[in-house]
A and B are shown apart, each in its own frame.
Chain A
Amino acid sequence: MKCFSIKKVSLVSKKDLYIKLKEATTTLGVLRDVEISIDRIIYEEFEEPIGPTPMPSIKDLRSWDYTLLKRYRPFYMPFCELCCLCTFGKCDLSMGKRGACGLDMAAQQSRIVLLACCIGAATHTSHAKHLVEYLIERYGRDIPLDLGEGVGVEAPIVRLVTGIKPRTLRDLEDVLSYVDNQLIHLLASTHTGQEGDALDFESKVLHVGMMDHLAMEVADIAQISVMGFPKSDPDAPLIDSGFGIVDKSKPVIMVVGHNVPSAAGIIDYLIENGLLGQVEVTGLCCTAHDAARYNPRTKIIGPISWQVRYIRSGLPDVVVVDEQCIKTNLIDEARKVDAVFIATSEKNCQGLRDRTEDPVDEVVKDLVERREDGVLIFDAEKVGEVAVKAAIALAPKRRQYKEKPISREAIIEYAKRCIKCMECVRTCPNNLPIMDAMGAAAKGDLSILSGLYEQCIGCVKCEGVCRAKLPIHSMIVWADDVFEKETFKVRAGRGAIKDTEIRAVGGPIVFGEIPGVIAFVGCSNYAYGGRDVYEMSEEFAKRRYIILASGCAAMTLGMYKDEEGKTLYERFPGSFDAGGVVNVGSCVSNAHIAGAAIKIANIFARRPLRANYEEIADYVLNRVGAVGVAWGAMSQKAASIASGFWRLGVPVIVGPHGSKYRRALLGRSDREEDWVIYNARTGEKVYCEPAPEHLFYMAETKEEAIVMIAKLCMRPNDTTKGRAIKLSHYADLYKKFYNALPEDIHLFVRTPADIPITMKDEILALLKEKDWKEKTIPDPTLLPRLIRRRE
């Protein structure tokens, strides 16, 4: 007997035996959108019909990727010209040579980009899985997802990519099963003798980026829903930040990494035992963001680049590490100042003994009496108790470490030992003039040394090569101790953008009247210091762009003050509106930035969302003036986050160090044929304009980045009023730095009404010079299926 006739099936994971049926004819009748897992059947109550690409595999969005990659072609910069990934090698791939497996240089570079992005996406996925498992263990599978009042579309990326409308933690497990499955295929493509085409590798890079965004969204909506984080709250609390906020008289715990349960365990223990406020909980990197979202009395010390200087300050009695971006020899730094070290993640065991099952007091005793430098504990609650008890016991014994670790006199004496070998300068990633600074310091002038503080990213590579064994990083940090007294305010990560906010600003964004949405994201590997990020965001906030921020960049934004002593978070509102400065939260909160772009297409423009990736990405690319800026991007996660944005049609700008990602995705404004699109109104193919001009761009200076941000916010759909506003910012910023009109401004003037009134005469003169011709403003799309009428 035939029970089912099946039209479309997606098998998501062997383990769960999860099957999706687009349409099934059964003896009971025709069933649509049935989802079956091993022990349950989900009858979708999702009112929206399923779109064309539910849970796409690598090949399903390949044609969209090729559309993008044809316009934004890769420029490869082989950071390494050899390949040593298999025993056929090493292979020299330079200057047109191929490896023994047949691979050429372009394919090898894109393969390495794919590998990096797989690492990034796997890391977010693993993080999300751990969080979801932890929350299910504590609260059960059926805990509902709740992103707060005004958020109807709770998981725009999940809905868009998978077609699932998640309601509970259980549904998030299904999403992660799909991501797991895709990641395995993507990673497998990098094996020797597998994919061989650079553009196909690039398509997979975009696919893995999309997986990364799914994983980030799952992680953040799970923790927001269950852990009491701010729920889409524009008035999320302002968190104390900086070195100066630590009360030295109290025991101090430092948390660092990205995955919040162990930090939450510490806070829970303090609350349950009436100790909150008596022990300082201080954090760095994204764990600090998320711990502050969990409890606003957490103090945010600073970004990832401050790990070593914070431990060397002697302030933390206990160092608790979870996962991602943690300096892997932090335990050595903790040992030097007699702080104890607790590792908490299976992914980061540090060679330590697993003490998860041992009695708390025994573990604490071993730590405090220095029988062990550190321990490994996988139970977040136990981490909380051990960390607090150890900090309380240790603090009185460690008072001597909490004063300035290196005196002015000691710095001068050290500097006299410099043998001027230049090893430090040639090793420092920012090429800081350390040797010259040592020369001046030896004569008693510490100003050059202290001047390096802002640009020092805390990698400590200089110390490893110094032939005189000088504590160079510490000398730079304590050449002046102003930073020790500095305090700032960082608004706690608010999470998602409300549907109501999207309704209010969707129109002005799509028509161009709010000139752009700019997201400052990523790590703190800044080439010239964090001030660049602050100045860029201030420039655009004052111009009433919408500023979003996440991760270390969101901390950096809060670490500079105006003349009145106020940080950006105190000067600008936290709402998703013109002139808002919005901290969405940690790295995984980047999902809300992509989510906001998606929601504009769905909520404002009413484009179908469910499993309708191409159409939404086409909408975002052509209509939503959003740009990501990862000025200090360092990690593989940053690479996969960026690639998720590229596929969605959001350009990303990185700082100088970002060139080490080894490939740019650049448009060619000089090739008209690259900018031909469909006018959806008529079906006509028309030359439109090079907007947005690039998808992945590396800027040398903040000024270059500022001008490029303003340019990349332009979209073919801008109304004339909106375009005039965007052009006035672009031209004004360019003039400010380069004292002239941008030479390509004629490319972005479509009709005379686009010209900003205040610059009319000079722009008209330039248009005449360039032999400019008026263009029609199309209803832009790159997808033939979206043409409404063919002529």
Chain B
Amino acid sequence: MWRSEPWMKAEVPGTRRATIIEKPELAAELLKQGGRILVVCGNGVSTVLSKRSLLDYIVDVAEAVDAHIATSSMAYAKIKSRLTNATWISPMEVAHRVPDPEWMGLDGKGAYKTMVFIGLPYYMTWLILTGLKNFAQSVKTISLDRFYQPNASWSLRNMNIGEWEQFLEALVNKLKA
């Protein structure tokens, strides 16, 4: 049961909750069919997991689906050194622009259909996602954090670090396959 509850216990959502992505295959499918994708990274992407750093997985995901990365985290320099499609901008600011139907994205090439979140403090993601859920309903949101984010359209369930790394590894493999 705890697997599908908000990770922070008091962050109870409204009446619509995220659908859980149980398997990496589903995450891969959602991303492949995600249209123009923006990946929003928080400072937590600098976390080193047992095999690789979280950042490595995320850059792989972004590359595989030709996504743009938006971040104001300390990982920006590293991301930018590996990916030209990256912009230093705060997650809140980017979310503020998304509901504008005239906004053409950070690269000026068009609106985003899907936004992926990872690495921000849990409650910040929770809040940004409720903003998008209510004011940018045409955008699909996916949380790849290891905690259930009820305000996303799709979210992973609560899991431990080992399970999470396995999930990310499998996701990258599926996307590259």
Binding site for B on A (CB under 8 A): 73, 75-82, 92, 94-96, 105-106, 422-423, 426-427, 429, 431, 465, 527, 656-657, 659-660, 662, 664, 666, 668, 670, 694, 697-701, 703-704, 708, 737-740, 742-743
CA distance A80 to B134 in the complex (A): 11
Which A residue sits closest to B78, measured CB to CB?
Answer: A739
Question: Hey, which chain B residues are within 8 Å of A657, CB to CB?
Answer: 123
| CB proximity of B12 to chain A, nearest CB, Å | 9
Asked whether, in the complex, the Cβ of A666 is within 8 Å of the Cβ of B93, the reply is yes
Asked whether, in the complex, the Cβ of A700 is within 8 Å of the Cβ of B127, the reply is no
| CB proximity of B41 to chain A, nearest CB, Å | 10
Question: Hey, which chain A residues are within 8 Å of B131, CB to CB?
Answer: 75-78
Known: A81-B130, A94-B16, A700-B124. A427 touches B8 (CB 8 A): yes
Q: Which of B80, B103, B120, B131 has the largest number of chain A CB atoms within 10 A? A: B131
Asked whether, in the complex, the Cβ of B73 is within 8 Å of the Cβ of A95, the reply is no
Asked whether, in the complex, the Cβ of B43 is within 8 Å of the Cβ of A700, the reply is yes
| CB proximity of B124 to chain A, nearest CB, Å | 5
Known: A426-B9, A668-B97. A700 touches B121 (CB 8 A): yes
Which B residue sits closest to A75, measured CB to CB?
Answer: B96
Asked whether, in the complex, the Cβ of A426 is within 8 Å of the Cβ of B95, the reply is no
CA distance A708 to B123 in the complex (A): 21
Between-chain CB contacts (< 8 Å), 30 pairs: A78-B131, A79-B130, A81-B13, A81-B15, A82-B14, A94-B14, A94-B134, A95-B16, A95-B137, A96-B137, A105-B135, A426-B8, A426-B9, A427-B9, A429-B123, A465-B9, A527-B121, A656-B123, A666-B92, A666-B93, A666-B96, A668-B100, A697-B92, A698-B90, A700-B43, A701-B73, A704-B73, A737-B74, A737-B77, A743-B88
Which A residue sits closest to B132, measured CB to CB?
Answer: A77
Known: A81-B14, A81-B134, A670-B97. A75 touches B127 (CB 8 A): no
Tally of B interface residues using CB under 8 Å: 41
CB < 8 Å A-B pair total = 120
| CB proximity of A433 to chain B, nearest CB, Å | 11
Question: Hey, which chain B residues are within 8 Å of A82, CB to CB?
Answer: 14-15
CA distance A35 to B74 in the complex (A): 58
Q: Which of A426, A656, A740 contacts B121 (CB 8 A)?
A: A656
Asked whether, in the complex, the Cβ of A75 is within 8 Å of the Cβ of B16, the reply is no
Known: A76-B135, A426-B7, A739-B77. A700 touches B120 (CB 8 A): yes
CA distance A527 to B103 in the complex (A): 32
**Does B57 have its Cβ within 8 Å of any Cβ on chain A?**
no
CA distance A657 to B126 in the complex (A): 12
Asked whether, in the complex, the Cβ of A700 is within 8 Å of the Cβ of B91, the reply is yes
Asked whether, in the complex, the Cβ of B90 is within 8 Å of the Cβ of A704, the reply is yes
CA distance A426 to B146 in the complex (A): 13
Asked whether, in the complex, the Cβ of B92 is within 8 Å of the Cβ of A659, the reply is yes
| CB proximity of A772 to chain B, nearest CB, Å | 17
Asked whether, in the complex, the Cβ of B134 is within 8 Å of the Cβ of A78, the reply is yes
Which B residue sits closest to A696, measured CB to CB?
Answer: B92
Which A residue sits closest to B121, measured CB to CB?
Answer: A656
Q: Which of A73, A92, A694 contacts B14 (CB 8 A)?
A: A92
Q: Which of B8, B93, B100 has the largest number of chain A CB atoms within 10 A? A: B93
- For window 68-105 of B, CB contacts with A under 8 Å fall at 72-74, 76-77, 80, 87-88, 90-93, 95-97, 100, 103
Asked whether, in the complex, the Cβ of A431 is within 8 Å of the Cβ of B14, the reply is no
Which A residue sits closest to B15, measured CB to CB?
Answer: A92
Known: A76-B134, A700-B42, A743-B87. A738 touches B96 (CB 8 A): no
| CB proximity of B144 to chain A, nearest CB, Å | 17
Question: Hey, which chain B residues are within 8 Å of A664, CB to CB?
Answer: 92, 96
Known: A76-B134, A77-B127, A426-B7. A738 touches B121 (CB 8 A): no
Q: Which of A94, A95, A427, A660 contacts B123 (CB 8 A)?
A: A660
Question: Hey, which chain A residues are within 8 Å of B93, CB to CB?
Answer: 666, 694, 697
Which B residue sits closest to A421, measured CB to CB?
Answer: B2
**Does B122 have its Cβ within 8 Å of any Cβ on chain A?**
yes
**Does B128 have its Cβ within 8 Å of any Cβ on chain A?**
yes
**Does B10 have its Cβ within 8 Å of any Cβ on chain A?**
yes
The 9 A-B residue pairs whose C-beta atoms are closest, nearest first, are A81-B14, A75-B96, A77-B127, A739-B77, A77-B131, A704-B72, A94-B14, A666-B96, A426-B9
CA distance A588 to B15 in the complex (A): 41
Which A residue sits closest to B95, measured CB to CB?
Answer: A75
CA distance A2 to B99 in the complex (A): 60
Question: Hey, which chain A residues are within 8 Å of B100, CB to CB?
Answer: 668
**Does B113 have its Cβ within 8 Å of any Cβ on chain A?**
no
Q: Which of B9, B73, B128, B130 has the largest number of chain A CB atoms within 10 A? A: B130
CA distance A95 to B17 in the complex (A): 12
6 further contact pairs, Cβ within 8 A, besides A701-B72, A738-B74: A94-B14, A426-B9, A429-B123, A666-B93, A704-B90, A738-B80
CA distance A740 to B74 in the complex (A): 12
| CB proximity of A470 to chain B, nearest CB, Å | 17
Asked whether, in the complex, the Cβ of B88 is within 8 Å of the Cβ of A742, the reply is yes
Question: Hey, which chain B residues are within 8 Å of A737, CB to CB?
Answer: 74, 77
Question: Hey, which chain A residues are within 8 Å of B92, CB to CB?
Answer: 75, 659, 664, 666, 697-698
Question: Hey, which chain A residues are within 8 Å of B36, CB to CB?
Answer: none
Q: Which of A527, A659, A668, A699 has the largest number of chain B CB atoms within 10 A? A: A659
Asked whether, in the complex, the Cβ of B121 is within 8 Å of the Cβ of A703, the reply is no
**Does B133 have its Cβ within 8 Å of any Cβ on chain A?**
yes
Asked whether, in the complex, the Cβ of A697 is within 8 Å of the Cβ of B134, the reply is no
Question: Hey, which chain A residues are within 8 Å of B8, CB to CB?
Answer: 426-427, 429, 431
Question: Hey, which chain A residues are within 8 Å of B2, CB to CB?
Answer: 422
Question: Hey, which chain B residues are within 8 Å of A738, CB to CB?
Answer: 74, 76-77, 80, 88
| CB proximity of B146 to chain A, nearest CB, Å | 12
Asked whether, in the complex, the Cβ of B127 is within 8 Å of the Cβ of A94, the reply is no
Asked whether, in the complex, the Cβ of B77 is within 8 Å of the Cβ of A95, the reply is no
CA distance A427 to B6 in the complex (A): 11
CA distance A560 to B127 in the complex (A): 32
Asked whether, in the complex, the Cβ of B127 is within 8 Å of the Cβ of A79, the reply is yes
Question: Hey, which chain B residues are within 8 Å of A80, CB to CB?
Answer: 14
Question: Hey, which chain B residues are within 8 Å of A743, CB to CB?
Answer: 87-88
| CB proximity of A706 to chain B, nearest CB, Å | 11
CA distance A94 to B134 in the complex (A): 6
Asked whether, in the complex, the Cβ of B15 is within 8 Å of the Cβ of A94, the reply is yes
Q: Which of A422, A659, A740, A742 contacts B77 (CB 8 A)?
A: A740
Asked whether, in the complex, the Cβ of A699 is within 8 Å of the Cβ of B14, the reply is no
| CB proximity of A787 to chain B, nearest CB, Å | 30
CA distance A662 to B122 in the complex (A): 15
| CB proximity of A363 to chain B, nearest CB, Å | 40
Known: A75-B92, A664-B92. A427 touches B130 (CB 8 A): no
Asked whether, in the complex, the Cβ of B124 is within 8 Å of the Cβ of A656, the reply is yes
Which A residue sits closest to B102, measured CB to CB?
Answer: A671
Question: Hey, which chain A residues are within 8 Å of B130, CB to CB?
Answer: 77-79, 81
| CB proximity of A770 to chain B, nearest CB, Å | 13
